[in-house]
Amino acid sequence: MRGLTLRDALPADRLAILDFCKSTWPDYGDYIPRVWGHWIADTGGRLIVAELDGRPVGIGKITHLSPGELWLEGLRVDPRYRHRGIARAMNLEVLRTVRRMKPRAVRFCTGINNRATRRMAEKQGFRVAARLRYYWQKARKAGVRGDFAVKRDIEGVHDFILNSRFLRLTSGLIAEGWVFREFNRDLLEAYVEEKRVIVLAKSGAIGGVAIYPFEENDGSLTLGFVEGDDASVKVLAKNCMYLARARNLSDCSAAIPSRGYARRIEHAGYRRKDSEGQVVYELGRRDLERLFIA
Ligand SMILES: CC(C)(COP(=O)(O)OP(=O)(O)OC[C@H]1O[C@@H](n2cnc3c(N)ncnc32)[C@H](O)[C@@H]1OP(=O)(O)O)[C@@H](O)C(=O)NCCC(=O)NCCS
């Protein structure tokens, strides 16, 4: 497109970008103002700006979650400049950048009804890795049930999670709201250290486990993993509301595989009307190498 330049973001882009992100989603606004400061300071990935005739009109972020694991987020085009191919051009630049980084996998998450994003992803060869439902909920005051996992629990909890249906349905990913990370022992150790893992015991064994990561973009607590029988899932899902309150957060959320888990957490008080479908897309290293990018 004539007049369109794709370049690294600069601190001076802030005002123009935050201005067009004010009402990205009518009922919500946008989380870009919350994360702009640390995105611009993040040297591990790349924050790309689309500039049209000297004016910033779009952004897209590549984030390094762990060695070889890349996450795409924050794709935005100024509403006044949509439907002209700007997102398409930015996505190509994102893929060129990502390919140079030689990751093991690159992923992103979008709303199930986001037709533009899903269309672009599928044209570029991204595969669906997981379908989930994201719920939001007010924090509530009550006692948390279960025990925080400690170091000596890690082995057992690790095996319990690896063998869970939840992890199979998410292709091995744990939700931090709208960001999904590969589950592995290092991640579990970090969550245990931060007191984000609760275990329910049953007849001397592990009966249920939940992980409650911090959702950085919205500043809330997420139920990012839960496993157990129906009663355990209910207790662990309610815990998220209580833990959020205990940590002085006003909100919590839950990102749960649509199949088999969504209905179960609705029994814990999460309301379907306060939820949205999520789709996580993924490209592996081989897919990236095969990709034709002009
Ligand atoms: C999604 C968004 C980035 C698209 O930006 P854009 O510059 O208008 O998109 P483009 O003009 O490059 O179009 C890209 C593709 O999406 C399609 N598309 C664009 N808007 C669409 C819409 N509202 N519904 C369906 N398809 C749409 C285009 O037809 C095009 O597909 P094609 O290549 O097959 O023709 C922009 O609408 C936006 O900022 N939305 C709000 C934030 C958001 O949803 N971000 C993504 C979160 S994961």
What pLDDT, on the 0 to 100 scale, is given for residue 184?
Answer: 97
* Residue from 60, 67, 31 nearest 46 by CA: 60
CATH number of 4-103: 3.40.630.30
Where does the pLDDT of residue 294 fall: very low under 50, low under 70, confident under 90, or very high at 90 and above?
Answer: low
221 vs 84: CA distance, rounded Å = 37
Amino acid at 188: L
> Please, what's the b/e burial string for 222-247 (b: 16 or more CB within 10 A of its CB; e: otherwise)?
bbbbbbbeeebbbbbbbbbbbbbbee
State if residue 234 touches ligand 1 by the CB under 6 angstroms criterion. Answer: no
State if residue 92 touches ligand 1 by the CB under 6 angstroms criterion. Answer: no
What is the pLDDT of the chain when averaged over all its residues?
96
Measured by CA distance, the residue closest to atom 35 of ligand 1 is 85
Measured by CA distance, the residue closest to atom 22 of ligand 1 is 116
Distance from Cα 77 to the centre of ligand 1, integer Å? 8
CB atoms within 10 A of CB 186: 10
Tell me whether strands 220-223 and 251-257 are parallel, antiparallel or unpaired: parallel
The per-residue pLDDT for range 255-280, each reduced to its tens digit, is 999 999 999 999 999 999 999 999 99
Tell me whether strands 214-215 and 220-223 are parallel, antiparallel or unpaired: antiparallel
Query: Does residue 122 sit in helix, strand or coil?
Result: helix
Distance from Cα 204 to the centre of ligand 1, integer Å? 52
- For the residues 96-117, what does the mean pLDDT come to? 96
State if residue 117 touches ligand 1 by the CB under 6 angstroms criterion. Answer: yes
Distance from Cα 217 to the centre of ligand 1, integer Å? 22
Rounded to two decimals, the pTM is 0.96
- For the residues 6-10, what does the mean pLDDT come to? 98
Q: Where are the domains of the chain?
A: 4-103, 134-279
What pLDDT, on the 0 to 100 scale, is given for residue 292?
Answer: 73
Residue written as token pair 């439902």: 133
State if residue 278 touches ligand 1 by the CB under 6 angstroms criterion. Answer: no
Residue 249 has pLDDT above 90, yes or no: yes
Measured by CA distance, the residue closest to atom 46 of ligand 1 is 75
Is residue 123 exposed (0-12), middle (13-18) or buried (19+ Cβ within 10 Å)? exposed
Tell me whether strands 214-215 and 179-182 are parallel, antiparallel or unpaired: unpaired
Residue 286 has pLDDT above 70, yes or no: yes
Task: Please tell me if the domain spanning 4-103 has the same topology as the one spanning 134-279.
Answer: yes
Measured by CA distance, the residue closest to atom 42 of ligand 1 is 76
State if residue 22 touches ligand 1 by the CB under 6 angstroms criterion. Answer: no
35 vs 218: CA distance, rounded Å = 9
Residue written as token pair 């991640």: 187
The per-residue pLDDT for range 74-91, each reduced to its tens digit, is 999 999 999 999 999 999
Which atom number of ligand 1 is nearest to the Cα of residue 114? 44
Residue 39 has pLDDT above 90, yes or no: yes
250 vs 16: CA distance, rounded Å = 30
Determine what percent of the chain is predicted with pLDDT higher than 70: 100
Residue written as token pair 């815990």: 239
Residue 69 has pLDDT above 80, yes or no: yes
What pLDDT, on the 0 to 100 scale, is given for residue 26?
Answer: 86
Measured by CA distance, the residue closest to atom 20 of ligand 1 is 116
Q: Count of alpha carbons within 13 Å of 105, Cβ hemisphere only?
A: 18
What pLDDT, on the 0 to 100 scale, is given for residue 218?
Answer: 85
CATH architecture for residues 134-279: 3-Layer(aba) Sandwich (3.40)
What pLDDT, on the 0 to 100 scale, is given for residue 289?
Answer: 87
Residue 290 has pLDDT above 90, yes or no: no
Residue 105 has pLDDT above 90, yes or no: yes
CB-based contact 1:84 (threshold 8 Å): yes
- For the residues 141-160, what does the mean pLDDT come to? 97
Which atom number of ligand 1 is nearest to the Cα of residue 86? 7
Distance from Cα 70 to the centre of ligand 1, integer Å? 22
102 vs 273: CA distance, rounded Å = 40
The per-residue pLDDT for range 180-203, each reduced to its tens digit, is 999 999 999 999 999 999 999 999
CB atoms within 10 A of CB 219: 13
The per-residue pLDDT for range 165-183, each reduced to its tens digit, is 999 999 999 999 999 999 9
Amino acid at 290: R
Listed in sequence order, the residues at least 6 apart from 265 whose beta carbon sits closer than 8 Å to its beta carbon are 135, 223, 226, 233, 234, 237, 254, 256
Which atom number of ligand 1 is nearest to the Cα of residue 111? 48
State if residue 118 touches ligand 1 by the CB under 6 angstroms criterion. Answer: no
CB-based contact 44:103 (threshold 8 Å): no
